[in-house]
Structure 1
Amino acid sequence: MLVIAYYSRAFHTQVDEPVLKMLLVMIRSVIQISLVIGWCSSVGTRIINKQVRHYLIAVGILLAFWLILRTCKWEFIAQNGTHLGRYLWYGYYIPMVFVPLFGVFIIDHIGKTENYKTPRYMKYLYIPAVLLVLSVFTNDLHQCVFSFPNGIEYGESDYNYQVLYFITMAWFILLGIYFVVMLIKKSRVPSSKSFQKLPAVILGISIIFWVLYCMQIVGGDLAAIDCIMIISLLESAIQSGLIPSNTSYKELFCSSTVSAQIVDTNYQPCMVSGTATALTADVMKSAKAEPVDLGDTILHSKAITGGYVLWQDDVKQIKELIKELRYTRERLGESNELLKAELELKENRAGTEEKSRLYDRIAKEVAPQLAKAEELLKLAESEPEQNKSAIAKVSVICAYIKRRGNLLLLEEENNIIPARELEYCIRESLDNLRLGNIFTSFDSKCDGEIKLAHAVVAFDFYENIVERLLDDATAMLIHLDCKDGIIKMRLQIGCNEDIAEHTLSELSVPCGNFEWDIQDEDVTVTLLLSQGGDGK
């Protein structure tokens, strides 16, 4: 088609018949414009990125517009001095300004993802582009692009270039150079010093032509040649894969390793991949409702325009893995049962050892009381008349052993206990003292918490005094005050005979302080354990 257009232009200059000249002009123009429009149409169906597709179509439309202006200007309005002819001339600068701008936008998308969009800051380039076009179309008013020394009517044949013309041409040349340089840069093959061959060849041919044209060695329809070069450069970027397109999909589908095929509405295969297996129409139809298990593969179906696409997922390895996982799960289940039984055994053993440790500690702490209780029980057996007295004393000692053991258990959990725990210990001991016909009275004010070590000291101190005076005691009055971690305990004990001072002289406490006062048959003992006292 380009050859026909070329010879139409060549014959056009050699014939004199007006009708034939017009026919040749129309043939050439229709061929050139149709090829540009056809390229735009193909771009609309091939290019994936929406913005790049719009830019390429805009370039094609501008090039077709340029060719139309060229034809109207030089073939239909050839005479100079008309306003229409001059504005057709001005119209050339619309594609000259916007085509390189769109080229910059297109080159920015090369190498980017499909969803990449032109940055906002680059879109500000529209502002100088529009101003340049407006300056050309308003040239008749200011003549800052072209000046006409002999008047506007002779402007197309007699004009001078002004500053805005050079700015416009600088825009055209600089953006064009940027497009060419970036195309060369982005044509480089990754991890290599070589470049994509097709864009390099087109660039080389274009440079050679422009050199020969400037040396006046070759000539031709410059507008048409520029359009061919621009389209060839853009098409080379498409064919080289720099601008992603959806061409060669059939070859890609057929060589794909995915087991897939496209069938029509009658389930007749239209396109089959290299690894797809033959399927019956009944099997294909059954996959329409739900995936079909074919053993090592799962068949899926999806409706598309004019038929269906069917593909098979290879699940052989997945099934083997599932089988291995089941076997592993069974083995792990058995191992878990063994581990669980072993853990329970260890927990039971640890619990038993912990109980034994606590029992041993309790026995060690209350060993003197256990020995004394045993001695009293033997006395009750050997001397029946002492039976009641001995049993009463044993009950007091047993109450101490019980409560002392309880305090040891609490110590395993926390070093701070409610103050009422000490009250419970003394109250239970006093309850057992009444069995030995000892009058008891207990006044207690216990609030808050106290150190467990202090509670142990106070209870041991109380028990020590009780055991020392148990044989002679007739009455026991106790006042216990626990507040803000301070323990204050006062014991008033009445006996049936005078109390020897040495009975209490051996008393001691690991922390705090105490004092006693003996008045004949009565004794008063006061214990004070402050909050900051040493207690473990």
Structure 2
Amino acid sequence: MEKNHRRTAQKKEAGMMGQRQREQVQRGCAVGTVVLLAWLCRVLPLEGLPSGLQEACGILRSLLYLSLFAGWGISLYNRTVHPQVRRLLLNVDLLMLFWILVRTLRFQLNTPPGMDRMLGYLYYAPMLGIPVLCVQLVLTVDRSERYRLSAWARMLWLPSAVLLELVLTNDLHQQVFRLQQPWNENYQYGWLFGLVVGWIVICILLAFGIIAHKSRNPRILRRLPLPAIPMVLLGVYAVLYGFHIPLIKQFLGDMTIVHCLMTAASLEGGLRCGLIQSNTGYEELLRVTSLAVQLVDRQGNVYCCSENGRMVDRRELQAAMHGTVQLDEHTLLRSAPVQGGYVMWQTDITELVENMERLKENRTELAERNYLEQQNYEVERKINALREKKRLYDLLQRQLAPQIIRMDQLLTRYRAAPEEEKRQLLGQVAVLGAYLKRGANLMFLAQQHRYVPSAELRYALEESISSLELAGVECAMEVTHEARLPAEAAAACYSRFESVVEGALGQLDALFVRAIWKDHRLNLYLSVETGADLKAACPAAVQEAPGSWVLNDHFEGGAPECGTN
């Protein structure tokens, strides 16, 4: 199927190439016909015809040439890619049109001798300007679109301007043309005329020298005679014309037209041989390229196609004019607008698709790995959480084991105790239970936070004091407000308080506790009325009187420090 498409595309392209060749031949024949008609209007004997018909033939001849060069200018605009080159070529064409227009005014109007001479002098504006434009043209053809002519290239206009000024003022100095009085067509060339001709020749030789230097491509060098031959013929013609050869005067006596035609032929040869970039020659380019490229018009008709380009449906071509079209799994069709249509190229994305497949596989593999890593992390996190809980439970068990054992003993005694002792035993159990609850809470906070609000210590002391009051103990307390305490200091302070309380438990009559944050440490003061000996519970306790004990202690966030003031 693909081979059939390929043969169909090749046949279609061959047919289109044949059609384009026929169109080129037709355009060449049309140009030749126009030139032949204009030439016949000049060389045919018109002496016996009415003067009006002779003038009409002259005007028709001028109109034919003006139309021909105007059409050539439009063709240059459409075919030239480089904007600077296009500007220079159009300036050359405008000078030719100016030259033909001046020639028409000179010979078709009955002008006075002075005006006739001035129109003849104006011939040298295009004669001196076109060679300079040609030099600037060959300097620009292989440059980027941002290229600007160097200073010396722009200075080429200075000699042309000076020489043109000398020609236009010839009536004053008679050094370009030596005219006779009264004014007539008989004149001699002055020494300034040699400068004019010499400058024109220098510019032409300079242009071809630059071309020869730039044309390192042997293929282009072989085609260099295409633009050179018209210039050589023009030089031969100028020499013969200068010697007033009768045959030249009779058949090629219109110097303006010959100069314009030969110059246009030379520039056209430069376009044909590739010295000047043009919007043509795509068939040869696509024939040697390895890319899959097509040129289509705005209706989707294929203008030409490279050998590697696959046959594409017209609907897909029209869709590609507005965006990228995917022809199959591994081929994309893209487009870019050009003058008169679009250039379309097919991009092989096989490697990209394979890379995307690999990325997809890698993404799946990474997702699986991430899932396993996440599961492992969750398991490890749960294990660590269980370990932390176990560590905290073990810590609490070690820290609170004495209270748990004593509570168990009190409950055992409670079962066998008489009714009058049960209330006292329950009060002691409540005191131990309050410490188990609040002490465990402070220990947990100390493991998780560096600082805790002072309210946490106050809540713990309040709950213990409430339990003591249920057991009949008179209590009072003072705790610092709106402060953040070191968590370890708060837990140690409450533990010291509990040690003193438990040491006097069962014999405790009254208790006053003060916990104040001052001088960057937590200060604990206890005043206890009890008949028990508190030295065993806290060696730092001081007995002020029989049954009266005092404890001063302070904590700085680390291990508790016990001492007296």
TM category (shorter chain) comes to 0.5 to 0.7
Check whether the contact 2:544–2:550 (CA below 8 A) recurs between aligned residues.
yes
Distance 1:125 1:534 in 2: 94
Match of 2:280 among 247, 255, 258: 247
Q: Return the match for 2:487 from 443, 452, 462.
A: 452
Aligned residue number for residue 458 of structure 2: 423
Aligned to 1:364: 395
How far the C-alpha of 1:60 sits from its partner, in A, is: 1.5
Shift of 1:407: 1.2
Corresponding residue of 1:442: 477
Alignment partner of 1:85 is 2:134? no
Q: Is residue 235 of structure 1 aligned with residue 268 of structure 2?
A: yes
With over 3 angstroms needed to count, the CA separation of the structure-2 counterparts of 1:69 and 1:350, relative to structure 1, is same
TM-fit CA distance, 1:526: 4.1
Q: Which amino acid aligns with 1:246?
A: N
Residues 137 and 464 of structure 1, relative CA distance in 2, 3 Å threshold: farther
Q: Secondary structure in 2 aligned to 1:480?
A: strand
Structure 2 residue aligned with 1:496: 530
Q: 2:509 aligns with which of 474, 486, 507?
A: 474
| 8 Å contact kept, 2:492–2:559 | no
The 1:19/1:505 distance shift into structure 2, 3 A limit, reads farther
What CA distance in whole angstroms lies between the structure 2 residues aligned with 1:475 and 1:145? Answer: 143
Deviation at 1:58, TM superposition (A): 2.4
Q: Which residue of 1 is the match for residue 3 of structure 2?
A: none
Contact 1:496 1:521 survives alignment (8 Å): yes
1:398 to 436, 440, 457: 436
**C-alpha distance in 2, partners of 1:53/1:370?**
102
Residues 480, 29 of structure 1: alpha-carbon distance in 2 compared, 3 angstrom cutoff: same
Instruction: State the 1:423 CA deviation.
Output: 3.4
The root-mean-square deviation of aligned C-alpha atoms, in Å, is 6.6
Tell me how far apart the structure 2 counterparts of residues 337 and 198 of structure 1 sit (CA, whole Å): 67
Report the Cα offset of residue 260 of structure 1: 7.3
Matching residue's letter, 1:86:
M
Q: Structure with the greater relative contact order (CA < 8 A, sep ≥ 6): 1 or 2?
A: 2
1:46 aligns with 2:79: yes
Would the aligned equivalents of 1:301 and 1:309 in 2 still touch at CA under 8 Å?
Answer: no
Give 1:271 deviation, angstroms: 7.7
Shift in CA distance, 344/480, structure 1 to aligned 2, threshold 3 Å: same
Contact 1:499–1:518, Cα closer than 8 Å, also in 2? no
Paired AA for residue 165 in structure 2: V
Per-residue deviation at 1:89? 0.9
TM-score by length of 1: 0.63
SS of equivalent to 2:479: strand
> Is the CA contact (8 Å cut-off) linking 2:410 and 2:429 kept in structure 1?
no
Structure 2 matches for 1:73-472, cutoff 5 A? 82-94=114-126, 96-97=128-129, 100-101=132-133, 104=136, 107-108=139-140, 110-112=142-144, 116=145, 132=161, 136=165, 140=169, 157=188, 161=192, 180=208, 183-184=211-212, 186-189=214-217, 196-197=220-221, 200-201=224-225, 227=260, 230-232=263-265, 234-241=267-274, 243-249=276-282, 332=364, 336=367, 340=371, 343-344=374-375, 346-364=377-395, 367-382=398-413, 384=415, 385=417, 387-411=425-449, 415-472=450-507
- Separation in 2 of the partners of 1:180 and 1:228? 18
Counterpart amino acid of residue 98 in structure 2: F
Q: Judge conservation of contact 1:399–1:428 (CA < 8 Å) in 2.
A: no
After superposition, the C-alpha distances for 1:48-97 in whole angstroms (9 at most, x for unaligned) are 45554343222112124335546766x67999962332243135225623
Equivalence for 1:65: 98
* Residues 324, 176 of structure 1: alpha-carbon distance in 2 compared, 3 angstrom cutoff: same
In 1, are the aligned partners of 2:431 and 2:464 still within 8 Å (CA)?
A: no
The share of aligned pairs that are identical, in percent, is 15
Do the aligned partners of 1:52 and 1:109 also contact (CA within 8 Å) in 2? Answer: yes
1-side partners of 2:81 and 2:509: how far apart? 109
Q: 1:328 to 1:519 in 2, by over 3 A?
A: same
Deviations 1:102-154 (A, max 9, x none): 76367436343xxx4565998x9699779948982996599699799999987
Q: Which amino acid aligns with 1:439?
A: E
Number of residues of Structure 1 aligned to a counterpart in Structure 2:
498
Q: SS in structure 2 opposite 1:505?
A: coil
Q: SS at 2:480's partner residue?
A: strand
Distance, in Å, in 1 between the alignment partners of 2:491 and 2:110 is: 124
Q: Render the CA deviation track for 1:177-227: whole Å, top value 9, x for unaligned.
A: 7755654555445xxxx5732674357658877998999999888766765
CA contact (8 A) 1:478 1:490 kept: yes
Gap change, CA 1:297 and 1:54, over 3 Å in 2: same
1:486: which partner in 2? 520
SS of residue paired to 2:278: coil
CA distance in 2 between counterparts of 1:452 and 1:179 reads 96
Amino acid paired to 1:444: V
d(CA) in 2 for partners of 1:299 and 1:32?
Answer: 49
Unaligned runs of 5+ in 2: 1-30, 561-565
Q: Are residues 315 and 393 of structure 1, via their aligned partners in 2, closer, same or farther at CA, if it must alter by over 3 Å? A: same
Q: CA deviation at 1:377?
A: 0.6
Cα contact 1:262–1:310 (8 A) shared by 2: yes
Confirm or deny: 8 A CA contact 2:179 2:188 kept in the other structure.
no
Q: For the Cα contact (< 8 Å) 1:5–1:27, is it kept in 2?
A: no
Distance 1:504 1:44, change over 3 A: same
